[in-house]
Amino acid sequence: MARTPKDEDDTKAVPTGRISRFARVAKLAGGVAGGMLAEGTRQWRAGNRPRRRDLIMTPANARRVANQLAEMRGAAMKLGQILSMDTGDMLPRELADILARLRSDASAMPVEQLQQTMTEAYGEDWEALFYDFDFKPLAAASIGQVHKTTSPDGRSIVLKVQYPGVRESIDNDVDNIATVLRLSGLLPQGVDLTPLLSDAKVQLRDEADYLKEADFLAAFGEVLADDERFILPQVLPELTHSSVLAMTYVSGSPIENIAYQPQEERDRVMTALLDLMLTELFELAMVQTDPNFANYQYKQSTGEIVLLDFGATRHFKKRFVNNYRKLAAAAIAGDRKGIAVAADKLGYAVGEENSEYQELVLELFLLALEPLSQEGSYDFGRSDMPARMSELGESITDYRDFWKAPPTDAVYFHRKLGGMFMLASRLKARVNVNELMQQWL
* Domain boundary assignment for the chain: 10-103+172-188, 254-441
Q: Which residue has the higher pLDDT, 140 or 135?
A: 135
Helix (H) or strand (E) holding 430: strand 430-431
Query: Per-residue pLDDT for 318 more than 80?
Result: yes
**Among this protein's residues, is 409 annotated catalytic?**
no
Distance CA 98, CA 64 (A): 10
Least confident interval from 13-27, 106-120, 261-275, 371-385: 13-27
* Cα dist from 24 to 76, 175, 225, whole Å: 10, 13, 45
Among 89, 290, 309, 409, the one annotated catalytic? 290
The fraction of the chain above a pLDDT of 70, given in percent, is 69
Q: Residue 303's pLDDT band (boundaries 50, 70, 90)?
A: very high
Q: Average pLDDT for residues 338-354, to the nearest whole number?
A: 90
How confident is the model over 276-280, as a mean pLDDT?
97
pLDDT (0 to 100) of residue 308? 93
Q: Which of 88-97, 304-313, 346-355 has the highest mean pLDDT?
A: 304-313
Inform me whether the pLDDT recorded for 37 exceeds 50. Answer: no
In this structure, are residues 284 and 278 in contact, taking their beta carbons and an 8 Å threshold? no
pLDDT interval class at 28 (50, 70, 90): low
214-250: b (≥16 Cβ within 10 Å) or e: bebbeebbebbeeeebbbbbebbeebbbbbbbbbebb
Confidence of residue 361 (pLDDT cuts 50, 70, 90): confident
Asked if the model's pLDDT at residue 250 lies above 80, the reply is: yes
Q: Are 102 and 84 in contact (CB under 8 A)?
A: yes
Residue 15 in this model has a pLDDT that exceeds 70: no
Over residues 264-276, the mean pLDDT reads 98
> Average per-residue pLDDT in the chain?
80
